[in-house]
């Protein structure tokens, strides 16, 4: 089945040690999104790629970076994780940038990041 896959499901990293989360999709969607969801909060958009065009949200910390080497893969890099970065990280895709007009959004199962 076409889907959005996030690996790993759970990630434990040390304070200050760089960590990379991955997302892959078989939908051939143009847009990929990364959301951060802290405990008991709503998912918060960090950034998104429209094809190769990177779009950063104004309040996304510099500590967060992203790469999209091809249509299928997108990575979230946290350069120096702090305790406050512990969260669920959700990847999503949409066919285009038309607000979910076509096929809506498809979410992965998320990666739950713990910082120790």
Partner 1 sequence: AQKVTQAQTEISVVEKEDVTLDCVYETRDTTYYLFWYKQPPSGELVFLIRRNSFDEQNEISGRYSWNFQKSTSSFNFTITASQVVDSAVYFCALSEFQGGKLIFGQGTELSVKP
- As measured in angstroms, the least distance from the Cβ of 50 to partner 1 is 8
Go through the chain and tell me how many residues it has.
116
Q: Which is nearer to partner 1, 68 or 80 (CB)?
A: 68
- As measured in angstroms, the least distance from the Cβ of 33 to partner 1 is 7
Angstrom distance (rounded) from CA 37 to CA 86: 9
Q: Which residues bind partner 1 (CB under 8 A)?
A: 31, 33, 40-45, 48, 88, 90, 92, 94, 96-101, 104-105, 107-110, 112
* 33: CB partners within 8 A, 6+ apart: 45, 47, 48, 91, 92, 93, 94, 105
């Amino acid at each position: 089945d076409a889907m959005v896959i996030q690996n790993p499901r759970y990630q434990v990293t040390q304070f200050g040690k760089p960590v990379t989360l991955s997302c892959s999709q078989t939908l051939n969607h143009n847009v990929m999104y990364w959301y951060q969801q802290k405990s008991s909060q709503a998912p918060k958009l960090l950034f998104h790629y429209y094809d190769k065009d990177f779009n950063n949200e104004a309040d996304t910390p510099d500590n967060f970076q992203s790469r999209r080497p091809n249509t299928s893969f997108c990575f979230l890099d946290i350069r120096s994780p702090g305790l406050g970065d512990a969260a669920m990280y959700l990847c999503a895709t949409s066919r285009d940038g038309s607000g979910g007009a076509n096929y809506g959004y498809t979410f992965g199962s998320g990666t739950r990041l713990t910082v120790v």
